[in-house]
Amino acid sequence: MIEEENFGFRDKRGHFVPKEATDKNPVWVLPLNFKKILSWFIFSYIFSWNLVYLIFAFIAYYFFTPPLSEMKSFAPGWMSEILLRNYVIGTIFFSLIHIPLYISKSQGIKFKFNPNWPEKIQKLFTFNRQIFDNLFWSLFWGVPIWTGFEILSLWFYASGTIPFFRFNDSPIYFFLILLLIPAFRDAHFYLIHRFLHFKFMYKIAHSVHHRNINPGPWSSLSMHPIEHLLYFSGVIIHWIILSHPLHAIYHLFHAGLGSANGHIGFKQMLLNDKYAIDLSNYNHYLHHKYFEVNYGNLMIPFDQWFGTYHDGSEELHNQMQLRLKNIKGE
């Protein structure tokens, strides 16, 4: 039987705090422990959600993407095909998480960070419902902007505007770019996310996303279109460096599907009494809870370097409150 106490504990208010919330990426811990680094690289970097997004991208590119020869000019046919493909994959992916956890509620609040469910009527949200709000911003804006970046990238490759190489040209370089994409995305996310918390950007754009204090899977791409443009803009790196169309598609799938990881709201999804899927990024859940902490993820510890890290502990919570008082001049 899989029990919560084996993975964490409930605090005084009933919020679930996972044990590994305070774990640091061994790459940045001195003295370096190469055994731990190797273990992290294999099990937390390669054989992780990164591989899941790569598999989705591989299937999308090699089975559901028109030949590059058809994409040398903009045409409704192939562009709508890409859009439909992303709608189908995105909807299936998010629904496979949302339906059992938030509609069927198959495991109740077991492993749910916030013990409360999103209220049915919330005037803060578009259409007065969190799920309707999330679906609107994700499907009406998020997927089309994601697709727009993909269409531009594929057209650039097909038209010869940017050069690309094939796997046989340099297998080592091909895999190196694949390996670096999650790390690059981590750095890019921190930079654009920090920018979105500037007062003027927060007011005109990022506040839409931060309506989701108690987020679910569909909250992940529930953003203002300005934020979508910034969020997916990381793929522009492939317009600059020598890369392959699969790299660009993987980059966008990592952003599009990978956004769910920090918004699911559960630590584990139970498959049965013995097996569960490790789901969520508690680090980003705390960002939605407290707003002014954890602007990045744990792969590259920007927040630890710049004093904005929160791991759920009372000590760091007090540090956060003191920092915010100093900012306000209290």
Question: What is the DSSP annotation of 10-42?
Answer: E-TTS-EEEGGGG---GGGSSSP-HHHHHHHII
Q: What angle do CA 55, 56, 58 make, to 5 degrees?
A: 60
Reading the block at residue 292, the tokens are 């002014």
Of 139, 133, 115, 103, which Cα lies nearest the Cα of 11? 115
How far apart (Å, rounded) are the C-alpha atoms in residues 302 and 191?
Answer: 10
Q: What is the pLDDT of residue 22?
A: 56
Of 78, 76, 233, 69, which Cα lies nearest the Cα of 157? 69
Q: What is the pLDDT of residue 21?
A: 59
Asked whether the beta carbons of 208 and 286 are under 8 A apart, the reply is no
3-state secondary structure of 278: strand
Q: What is the pLDDT of residue 121?
A: 78
Q: What is the pLDDT of residue 23?
A: 67
How far apart (Å, rounded) are the C-alpha atoms in residues 214 and 228?
Answer: 20
Tell me 144's DSSP state.
H
How far apart (Å, rounded) are the C-alpha atoms in residues 223 and 321?
Answer: 27
Going residue by residue through the chain, which has 330 residues, state the pLDDT in tens, using 9 for 90 and above. Answer: 899 998 899 988 999 999 875 567 899 999 999 999 999 999 999 999 999 999 999 999 999 999 999 999 999 999 999 999 999 999 999 999 999 999 999 999 999 999 999 887 788 899 999 999 999 999 999 999 999 999 999 999 999 999 888 999 999 999 999 999 999 999 999 999 999 999 999 999 999 999 999 999 999 999 999 999 999 999 999 999 999 999 999 999 999 999 999 999 999 999 998 899 998 789 999 999 999 999 999 899 999 999 999 988 888 889 999 888 887 765
Q: Residue 197: which residues within 8 A CB-CB, separation 6 or more?
A: 206, 292, 295
How far apart (Å, rounded) are the C-alpha atoms in residues 6 and 18?
Answer: 9
